[in-house]
Amino acid sequence: MLRFLTAGESHGKGLVTIIDNFPSGVKIDSSFINEKLRARQSGYGRGARQKIESDQVEFLSGVRGGYTTGSPISIFIKNRDFENWKERMDAFKPLSEDAKIHIPRPGHADFAGSLKYGQDDIRNILERSSARETASRVAAGALFQLLLKNFGIEFSSAVLSIGGIGDEKIPELDLFDGKILKNISRSELRMPFPEAENEIKKNIDRIKKAGDTAGGIFIVQAKKVPPGLGSFTQWDEKLDGHIAMSLMSIQAIKSVEIGMGVKSASMKGSEFQDSIYSCGNKGFCRKSDNAGGIEGGVSNGENIIVKCAMKPIPTLMKPYLDTVDLKTGKPEKAFLERSDVCAVPAASVVGEAALAFSICLFFLKKFGGDSLKEISRNFEGYIKQLPGGK
Ligand SMILES: Cc1cc2nc3c(=O)[nH]c(=O)nc-3n(C[C@H](O)[C@H](O)[C@H](O)COP(=O)(O)O)c2cc1C
């Protein structure tokens, strides 16, 4: 079964990603992967760290001559900032007492993580809980996207709103439309329509000046996903359930909606359900996609649509939040210096990678094989026998 693990600390030497059970024969395009990493690093409202890093993948195993071999793939992404942290992040040097952090930031993993792992230095928690880890996920996600491209499956993501400004209810938004794709790639906020952009940037500036942070909503879509991925036969085989886990596990994501999501609760059955039509040589088709491409935990051939809410960044640059010193029990205010003000554009790129993993996992469960050739044969055989060949 396809799986991947990530390792590495935010200010350690670098990040390691291991992808297991990835089929052989898939052409690897490093520039595609590095472009996704660049997109994750960009976006209006990000902190000074992104000026130091310039993420690039280095393959340690599993790829030869530009193609995957079927062996575990391991990828290294260097942390350039490590140069500034060598002393503090050394694996063996004893830690000085004054360098230890005892004041947890509410909303980060600091408090719960310190209690769980019995650590008296919160750095041991924040180094790993940091969203620096998402660079690994984006690299892995790019590989899953490269595999799925062979079958016409593509992914796209965009930001809908930040700090409550923007349009979260855009109906029938096609993230694969040429004009929309251009808008997203030109926008510093990765937004599909430029109208609200200036207002949002000004709001981010105001929030930054106040030492505060913002969250927002992003959307991810996958197109040409064949019908039949996932299953209703067991609770843990449902595609929508797995997608929810993949996206909810991204740092700071607090809701995951499929299709109409929350809005579906206030719609009538006659409005919400996507009627089915016979569409000649296109096979079967729908005029709406309120279900977000999944019915009964199974992909139905329509676009997969996922919308996520990201909470405001927990590290504030002014001391608004009450907390306690875990060592003395005395009341304190939480604040640290370097952090993002808003990372919703970056999170949307991570969301694309997370969706790519779920789709790739279920794609390989259905069409599984050890090589791209074997998977292609299984895929083509299945598609051919579908009514209408779709
Ligand atoms: C792309 C991205 C960048 C983030 N940048 C920061 C940051 O600079 N500072 C911060 O405190 N949290 C940041 N976060 C959020 C925290 O990592 C997250 O809130 C924390 O790990 C606790 O997890 P939880 O919010 O899911 O409970 C970022 C999240 C993402 C997805």
Pocket test for ligand 1, best of 251, 256, 340 (most atoms within 8 A of CB): 251
Q: What is the pTM assigned to this prediction?
A: 0.97
Residue 15, SS3 per DSSP: strand
Listed in sequence order, the DSSP H helices in the chain are 30-41, 49-52, 110-117, 123-129, 134-149, 178-186, 197-209, 239-248, 269-272, 344-367, 372-385
Give yes or no for residue 281 having a pLDDT over 80.
no
Pocket test for ligand 1, best of 37, 123, 340, 344 (most atoms within 8 A of CB): 340
Give yes or no for residue 295 having a pLDDT over 90.
yes
Q: Is 50 in the pocket of ligand 1 (CB under 6 A)?
A: no
pLDDT confidence of residue 47 = 82
17: CA distance to ligand 1 center in Å? 19
Q: Is 358 in the pocket of ligand 1 (CB under 6 A)?
A: no
Quick one: which of 362, 367, 318, 309 has its CA closest to 339? 318
The number of the ligand 1 atom at minimal distance from the alpha carbon of 40 is: 1
State how far the Cα of 157 lies from the Cα of 346, in Å rounded to an integer: 10
Give yes or no for residue 45 having a pLDDT over 90.
no
- For residue 264, is it left (φ>0), alpha (ψ between -120 and 50) or beta? alpha
pLDDT confidence of residue 49 = 77
Q: What percent of the chain is predicted at pLDDT more than 70?
A: 99
Q: What mean pLDDT, rounded, does the chain reach? A: 95
Tell me the average pLDDT across 290-302: 97
State how far the Cα of 305 lies from the Cα of 307, in Å rounded to an integer: 7
pLDDT digits (tens, 9 = 90+) for 126-140: 999 999 999 999 999
Give yes or no for residue 390 having a pLDDT over 70.
no
Q: Is 125 in the pocket of ligand 1 (CB under 6 A)?
A: no
pLDDT confidence of residue 280 = 81
Give yes or no for residue 306 having a pLDDT over 90.
yes
Least confident span in 11-20, 37-46, 143-152: 37-46
Q: Is 127 in the pocket of ligand 1 (CB under 6 A)?
A: no
260: CA distance to ligand 1 center in Å? 26
Confidence band (pLDDT; 50, 70, 90) for 282? confident
Q: Which domains does the chain have, with CATH numbers?
A: 3-389 (3.60.150.10)
- Cβ 309 vs Cβ 250: under 8 Å: no
Least confident span in 158-167, 205-214, 277-286: 277-286
134: CA distance to ligand 1 center in Å? 10
State how far the Cα of 255 lies from the Cα of 109, in Å rounded to an integer: 18
Confidence band (pLDDT; 50, 70, 90) for 389? low
Give yes or no for residue 18 having a pLDDT over 60.
yes
Greater model confidence, 284 or 63: 63
Q: Is 252 in the pocket of ligand 1 (CB under 6 A)?
A: yes
Q: Is 251 in the pocket of ligand 1 (CB under 6 A)?
A: yes
Q: How many CA atoms lie within 13 A of 367 on its CB side?
A: 27
Which residue's CA lies nearest to atom 9 of ligand 1?
339
Confidence band (pLDDT; 50, 70, 90) for 337? low
Q: Is 250 in the pocket of ligand 1 (CB under 6 A)?
A: yes
Give yes or no for residue 23 having a pLDDT over 60.
yes
Q: Is 220 in the pocket of ligand 1 (CB under 6 A)?
A: no
Tell me the average pLDDT across 281-309: 94
Q: Is 343 in the pocket of ligand 1 (CB under 6 A)?
A: yes
Tell me the average pLDDT across 181-208: 96
